[in-house]
Amino acid sequence: MTDMPPVQDEHPSLEPALTGHALIAAQVRQLDGSPGVYRMLNAASEVLYVGKARNLKARVSNYARQSGHSGRIARMIQETTAMMFLTTRTEVEALLLEQNLIKQLKPRYNVLMRDDKSFPNILITSDHPYPQIGKHRGKRSQKGHYYGPFASAGAVNRTLNQLQRVFLLRTCTDAVFSSRTRPCLLYQIKRCAGPCTGMVSDTDYADLVHDARRFLEGRTTTVQSDLAKAMSEAAEAMEYERAAALRDRISALTSVQQVQGINPRSVPEADVIALHLEGGQACVQVFFIRANQSWGNRDFYPRTGAGAEEPEILQAFIAQFYDNKEPPRLILMSHQVEDPDLLGQLLTDRAGRKVEIAVPQRGEKAELVENAARNARESLGRRLAETTAQSKLLAGLAEAFGLETPPKRIEIYDNSHIMGTNAVGGMVVAGPDGLMKGEYRKFNIKGADLTPGDDFGMMKEVLTRRFERLIKDDPDRETGAWPDLLLIDGGAGQVSAVAEVLAGLGVDDVPFIGVAKGIDRDQGKEEFHRVGQPVKALQRNDPVLYFVQRLRDEAHRFAIGAHRAKRAKAVSATPLDDIPGIGAARKRALLAHFGSAKAVSRAGLPDLTAVEGISEAMAKIIHDFFNPG
């Protein structure tokens, strides 16, 4: 939000001795009727709540009343020791600023969306004579036609797999396309028309692209009738091989339509958003309807702000959900939001076109919402059951190892390498809600003085880097990023290495346990090592043992995956990677032109300048790199 100078500067409470209702009443006397945003702070200067108002004086005065508040609001008022204000020109600007501050500050009493990832799309490019179809995630910077969003990468991959069978569009990169001399395997198995080697004419391939776009835009009936007509004509002309190929494409198209699931007739484009609230926890289910087809669904579990109700939760979720996503023309909701007109205006401004929000009461739209609400209810039920089981496991872990309280954040570490090469450290995280995959981290082992294969030295480096960053970024431990327990894949040696690192950094209150395979390296005979305590073992049928095994195995899986990715990257590396100014595009161009890095090293200046994107200056840099002096 640019060019929005505040009419009133931010300022803390002028009555530091006052708290709660008295403090708020004193603040009201200093406010006017401007729109804006207010913040409520506690004695530790932590932001408890961020709110917006059409009229700051009227809105804040509601908190000054002594009664009539919900338990959540009453607790918030009681904790308030200071307030801050910022005025805006319009209420829409206030709503936008409120959501930005909520995302940045994460106040305890606000509703907060926990998952803010982008969604994948299907992209048909338009900057190449033979357009490519593929998956795209992130900013829409590439020229082409985008179709989505899809609920997950899996949904996109399944749809792409079926579309390849129907429309035979290429999925290879431009560099691979330009370097082909004979058709690839996809052409052999009838998943590509083979434009790279002239197996299809320009006109026929353009028709395939046109049909694919029509299908993704929802005009499936036209596409299917055209294919049926072409199959009939081929059969009459006794072109039986072509007719059989068209028959297979029609069959694949029918399969695609079945995969799409619920295909509403009267809703060409919408997001269906349903909320289920139970026991202070919420689940929001989002279904994506595009081109009269269901493109999947995702469930979200927003933090409910210590007891917020449906209208507030849904409004906050929708405002935050579309912060970095383009809203559709229609949003169908299970509950009415607090201020539908304001929310609709915010989404309209973001999309640059009219966005309608509605709570349907009957008909097909209401059925879509009911289906989403049922999924939200069932998803939350499963999550509550899993959370209860997880809480019991965490409590059992605390009891088994003498921890003061059940851990809320467990960090599990493992290293992976082959004889010390491409060494990677992996950290996975678990808590009351299970594995926290967004918190996983990998560490490329950098220690130049490490002996190859020195697992203890590698663990020291990983833990040193991890806790040095924690001490720097969160010395007061306010963000919840500090672990309550460390699990280390290893025995006494690894535990000693961890103890040395933590002692050197002055961290003496984070417990850690080494998990060793035990006798004969047999799963179920794990031994647990702790500093200054005897080795401990758990009963084979103990649920806590199975829990620790799963955590250890997840860390092992993650570390091995990171190691393999690093090793694969090293295998594909070439001397071109070390030349200043040579990025991915120029590297592809050089390899496509010369065939290998060795051939590039032997090329003369005239040959290098003949490559697209290589100027005379860049050609000289490349030539001098391979021919020093």
**The one-letter amino acid at 546:** Y
Q: Give the whole-angstrom CA distance, residue 573 versus residue 404.
A: 50
pLDDT in tens, 407-456: 999 999 998 877 657 788 899 999 988 899 889 999 988 776 666 667 88
pLDDT of residue 6: 39
Q: Give the whole-angstrom CA distance, residue 143 versus residue 585.
A: 17
Asked if pLDDT for residue 240 goes beyond 80, the answer is no
Q: Give the whole-angstrom CA distance, residue 352 versus residue 347.
A: 8
> Of the candidates 347, 313, 310, which has an alpha carbon nearest to the alpha carbon of residue 113?
313
**The one-letter amino acid at 466:** R
Q: Average of pLDDT values for 133-162? A: 84
pLDDT in tens, 285-314: 999 988 777 888 888 999 887 678 899 999
pLDDT of residue 365: 92
Identify the H or E element spanning 560: helix 543-571
CA dist 420 to 417, 425, 441, 453, 500, Å? 5, 12, 20, 4, 22
Domains 269-381 and 410-556 share a fold: yes
pLDDT tier for residue 163 given thresholds of 50, 70 and 90: confident
> Of the candidates 80, 123, 93, which has an alpha carbon nearest to the alpha carbon of residue 5?
93
Domain 575-626 fold is DNA polymerase; domain 1 (1.10.150)
Q: Give the whole-angstrom CA distance, residue 480 versus residue 114.
A: 14
Say which residue, 389 or 464, is predicted with more confidence: 464
pLDDT of residue 15: 43
Block residue for tokens 């996109």:
156
Identify the H or E element spanning 562: helix 543-571
330, two tokens: 């229609």
Output the CATH code of domain 20-109. Answer: 3.40.1440.10
Cβ atoms of residues 98 and 52 within 8 Å = yes
pLDDT tier for residue 490 given thresholds of 50, 70 and 90: confident
Q: Average of pLDDT values for 235-243? A: 75
pTM, 2 dp: 0.65
Coil/strand/helix, residue 604: coil
Output the CATH code of domain 269-381. Answer: 3.30.420.340
Q: Average of pLDDT values for 326-353? A: 92
pLDDT in tens, 124-147: 999 999 999 999 988 888 899 998
pLDDT of residue 623: 87
CA–centroid distance for 389 within its chain: 26
Block residue for tokens 């006017």:
32
pLDDT of residue 464: 93
Task: Give percent of the chain with pLDDT exceeding 70.
Answer: 89
CA end-to-end distance (rounded Å), the chain: 54
pLDDT of residue 224: 65
DSSP states of 188-228:
HTTS---GGGTSS-HHHHHHHHHHHHHHHTT-HHHHHHHHH
**Looking at residue 438, what DSSP letter applies?**
G
Asked if pLDDT for residue 572 goes beyond 60, the answer is no
66, two tokens: 């002594």
In the chain, what are the domain boundaries? 20-109, 121-259, 269-381, 410-556, 575-626
Q: Does domain 410-556 have CATH number 3.40.50.300?
A: no
Cβ atoms of residues 182 and 197 within 8 Å = yes
Q: Average of pLDDT values for 380-388? A: 81
> Which residues, other chains included, contact 3 with Cβ-Cβ below 8 Å and sequence gap of 6+?
none
Q: Average of pLDDT values for 515-531? A: 76
pLDDT tier for residue 8 given thresholds of 50, 70 and 90: very low
Q: Average of pLDDT values for 560-575? A: 74
Task: Give percent of the chain with pLDDT exceeding 90.
Answer: 38
